[in-house]
Structure 1
Amino acid sequence: MRTAFLFGSTLALSVPSAFAAIAQSFAPPAASPESSSANYTGQTNGTISNPALVAGKAFDRFIQIWIENTDYDTAASSAAFQTLSKQGVLFNQFYAVTHPSEPNYLAAVGGDFFGAGDDNFYHIPQNVSTIVDLLEAKNISWGSYQENMPSDGFTCADLLLKGFNFTQKNYLTNQGEYTYYVRKHNGLIVFDSVANVTSRALRIRNFNDFANDLKANDIPQWNFITPNLVNDGHDTTIDFVGDWLNYWLFPLLNDPNFNTNRTVILLTFDETETYTINNRIYTLALGNGVPRDLWGTTDPTFYTHYSALSTVEANWGLGALGRGDSNATLNNVFAFVANATGWKNNGISGDSPDIPLHRAEHVRLQPRRRPIFVAPGVDTNLTAAALPAPVNLTAQGKPNPWGVDPGIAYVNGTQVISPPSPTGSGSGSGSGSGSGKNGALGVGVGQGVSVAACFALGIAAGVLVVF
């Protein structure tokens, strides 16, 4: 029996009905991964500017690609994943850290899910560091590419409160509209230390930008890539995901502008679809940076989403965030990187009873194993006071203090800030219309969005909205 370490007395085991695969037929959103497309909505915004390459001990480029809500055995049944497993290492004991989606995305870039146990709106205060702080401290370039995000640094739609997702024309059916982009799958934009810094927010780019950066050979060294809600399987099936991988990832594995001789590509899932089993997800390490003698092999080491952080930290000799990436139970470094860096893993592997339960709880912190990064000017007292220990506030029925929109928005590369709205939160839905220089803007009803900020965004973009 696996050991579960719980904070609080409530453990949610029932699976929500939010995931519902629908019958849709895959259609390429663009002519090729290297091509821009009107289906992506946002315009190409010029190539990204990156500092000089910083060599790592095991790899020089790290790319994460996240797929959605799939049990391990379901992914293993996919012909596309079976083929890809021959071109890399299968991590068959890799675990998401909680449920549902958004907390996992937060954990992968921030080392914790900060009390969130749902997919609601959150903004993590400026005081909280992320992987971006660690990378920039060593001058390592980074970027995030979000399919169907309408503009770089996108945070809200407009004054009619469409919210933080984006609804556009349904390019699969050419009938009606569809919400392809959702903020909850864009972990970095949830952190004010990214969203509230223009130069950082604008490094969260759309797929037209990706095509441009790829052709220019300007893909950064660290990348987080999120497909849209149909291509990532959230609203579809594993077979649909396989079609997207055949269209998008397979050709990029042969493109040296994407997959250099020193590139590691982590293809993983956010979480399982079934909540009543442990949160084991099918994960592959691909790319020419994976030693060729390991291709087609299986690594049974116990890894989690925090391992993606600790692996990057070990590779470039970064500090640590002092959260899950410093948890000796959860932060095993990918074995081939551990070997290259001298990192010693904890020995947990296979079906060990020491693998904790990953459902709605957070595993208790273990001793830290590397220096903790503290950004200049950070109020460490505030850091300690905010959340002194890992806890699932949602599971305890307590409000999360970071659920009010701070009023940050971007248009045409310019930040617009307005006081937060007192409207509270509600689920987002509605249709999209209108356009601006950097992409289309939607209208409808949204979740906790700042009226003033989105109003300013709409005016700056030249969108006329009538109540």
Structure 2
Amino acid sequence: MFRRQVAFVAAAVAALATVGAGVAMASQTPSGTAVAVAAVPRPDHVVVVVFENKDYSTIIGSSSAPYFNSLAGQGASFTQSFGVTHPSQGNYVAMFSGSQQGVTDDTCPRNLGNVANLGSQLIGAGFTFKGYSESMPSDGYTGCSSGNYARKHNPWVDFSNVPAASNVRFSAFPTDYTTLPTVSYVVPDMCNDMHDCSVSTGDTWLKNKLDGYAQWAKTHNSLLIATFDEDNFSSVNQIATVMVGEKVRTGTYSEQINHYNVLRTMEDAYGLSALGNAATATPITDIWSTTTPSPTPTASPTASPTSSPSPSPTPTASPTPTSSPTPTPTAGCVSPGQKLGNPGFETGTAAPWTATSGVLDNGTSEPAHAGSWKAWMDGYGSAHTDTLSQSVTLPAGCASYTLSFWVHIDTAETGSTVYDKLTVQVGSTTLATYSNVNAAAGYAQKTFNLAAFAGQTVTLKFTGVEDSSQQTSFVIDDAALTIG
């Protein structure tokens, strides 16, 4: 229903992209005599292929994506992988440079200058990098679009320190895989990446274009990473990510990762400094194996063994549970406990939250999850933006950093096009976006790991945007950030 002027803003603290969550064990026991290795091995070649705007459940287990699921069965399939923002362009920039670099929309062109990124790092360290873009009209092209090509999916063009020679058409992707650069990014065009065409179209493209490399990689110390930029706004930005290669232990893995973890893993493999948010992201270490008990000689000598916990030598046969008993705080954990002030809003005022006018509400038009008060964003049925934020310090050295809250979305919007949305951020990192397409009846609890932000003072910020058409209310209650 339409919101009364006295009603309140919704303090949605839906932090989902949990960079640097602790490593979990694989849910399948790999065959053979391979043993886990603690560091990230150094592949001869890495190929990263990025698809568009599909959530995890649309791909994994879907009959429309038989080849993608076949790859998942041949390598490491991540059940808790997430994009970092919406819309597309910020994800591509983040996965390539460790930060969104202030990019919050798909505006083109973006000229980000001499900012360090994976391509410039590799080239500067004596390795090689190329980005292969399908349907790009010419090598070195810097235009915003041409046919089914879109520059917003091509982040290396935005950085002046990546040479034009590294920006090539996908038609130049070699059939002799030994001639590939050290790291390659492959971007299908707007149809084959599933943006404008079906899942089955992109799945068939992946099989036809990259299965040869995937099979070759498994016997030539190389790696294929198949992932997505973001979901389709129907979940909490959960995406499918699969890695296949010679050193990869087959199984499903439940640690929470996002684009920054993937970037950090590649940087560790080649002894590169971790960029931006990748510096606080945990590298992926539990999926690697070697066929001999001795340490692999190709592991990066500069990867710090203290930055990534050692996985168990043999994974358990049963799937890793999504929630585990609260671990004992580690040494150095100072002042554990609940860190959010006024988590249920029952004081009747917003403080210590900073909120736009009319945020707090104790009426009955939108019910509270518990008690009388709740945070209520938007619901006016007219162009409106509400914000609510709180700064909080997460002490270092603790075993768990759990953010939870209850969210209720009341909307008159229907269909897959999103106009009204609630965006959740920690600092400059977008963690989740909620809208009519992921609304559920009543309240739903969301729980996320914020271990990536340990040792930092950060601001949780929740922004509700409503256009001038149908009304949407975003209601949040009983938020908590518990350090243990």
Match of 1:299 among 253, 261, 283: 253
Taking the aligned partners of 1:234 and 1:312, their CA distance within structure 2 comes to 26
Q: Secondary structure at the match of 1:249?
A: helix
User: Does 2:105 correspond to 1:121?
Assistant: no
SS at match of 1:214: coil
- Paired residue total: 292
- Indicate the SS of the match to 2:49: strand
d(CA) in 2 for partners of 1:80 and 1:356?
A: 36
1:53-202 aligned at under 5 Å gives the runs: 57-76=41-60, 77=62, 78-156=65-143, 164-167=144-147, 180-194=148-162, 200-202=163-165
CA RMSD of aligned residues (A): 3.6
Residues 238 and 310 (structure 1 numbering): CA distance in 2 closer, same or farther, change over 3 Å? same
Question: Which of 253, 264, 277 is the matching residue for 1:324?
Answer: 277
Question: Are the counterparts in 2 of residues 267 and 284 from structure 1 also a CA contact under 8 Å?
Answer: yes
Q: Which runs of 5+ in 2 are unaligned?
A: 1-11, 17-39, 290-294, 312-319, 324-400, 406-421, 428-451, 467-484
Residues 350 and 202 (structure 1 numbering): CA distance in 2 closer, same or farther, change over 3 Å?
farther
Deviation at residue 363 of structure 1 after TM alignment: 3.3
Q: Is the 8 A contact 1:99 1:117 kept in 2?
A: yes
Cα deviation code 1:417-447 (max 9, x no counterpart)? xxxxxxxxxxxxxxxxxxxxxxxxxxxxxxx
Q: CA, structure 1 residues 145+360, in 2 after alignment: closer, same or farther (shift >3 Å)?
A: farther
Deviation at 1:278, TM superposition (A): 1.1
Matches within 5 A, 1:348-359: 351=322, 354=402
The SS at the match of 2:225 is strand
Report if aligned partners of 1:123, 1:192 keep a CA contact under 8 Å in 2. no
Alignment-derived partner of residue 274 in structure 1: 233
Q: Would the alpha carbon gap of residues 127 and 245 (structure 1) be closer, same or farther in structure 2, given more than 3 Å must change? A: closer
Q: Distance in 1 between matches of 2:266 and 2:164?
A: 21
Equivalent in 221, 245, 269 of residue 262 of structure 1: 221
Task: State the Cα distance separating 1:96 from its structure 2 match.
Answer: 0.6
Q: State the alpha-carbon separation in 2 of the partners of residues 230 and 96 from structure 1.
A: 20
Q: Secondary structure at the match of 2:426?
A: coil
Alpha-carbon distance change, 190 to 125 in structure 1, aligned in 2, over 3 angstroms: closer
- Residue 284 (structure 2) aligned to one of 321, 330, 333: 333
Contact map agreement 2:282 2:307 (CA 8 A) in 1: no
Counterparts of 1:39-54 in structure 2 under 5 Å? none
Paired residue type of 1:106: V
User: Offset at 1:390?
Assistant: 10
Check 1:302–1:317 CA distance in 2 against 1; reply closer, same or farther (3 A cut). same
Residue 220 of structure 1: aligned partner = 181
For the pair 1:366 / 2:453, whether they are aligned, the reply is yes
Partner of 1:205: 168
Do the aligned partners of 1:58 and 1:337 also contact (CA within 8 Å) in 2? no
Give the AA of the match of 1:284.
V
Residues 301 and 123 (structure 1), Cα distance of their counterparts in 2 relative to 1, 3 Å cut: same
Which position in structure 1 is the counterpart of 2:241? 283
Q: What TM-score do you get using the length of structure 2 for normalisation?
A: 0.54
Kindly indicate which of the two structures has a greater share of residues assigned to strand: 2
Q: Is the 8 A contact 1:134 1:318 kept in 2?
A: yes
Per-residue deviation at 1:72? 0.6
Please, which moves more after superposition, 62-71 or 76-85?
A: 76-85
SS where residue 453 of structure 2 aligns? coil
Change (3 A) 1:260 1:347: closer
How far apart are the structure 2 equivalents of 1:248 and 1:356? 42
Distance change >3 Å, CA 260–CA 223, structure 1 → 2:
farther
Contact 1:326 1:368 in 2 (8 A): no
Cα distance, 1:61 vs. partner? 1.6
Q: Distance in 2 between matches of 1:368 and 1:137?
A: 31
Q: Deviations over 1:42-79 (max 9, x none)?
A: xxxxxxxxxxxxxx834222111011110111101122
Secondary structure of 1:202 counterpart? helix
Q: Distance in 2 between matches of 1:203 and 1:390?
A: 37
In the alignment, structure 1 residue 252 sits paired with structure 2 residue 196: no
User: Is 1:356–1:363's contact at 8 Å kept on the other side of the alignment?
Assistant: no
Name 1:10's counterpart in structure 2. none
Deviations 1:67-123 (A, max 9, x none): 111011110112222211121110111111011111100001011112222111242
Local SS of the residue matching 1:240: helix
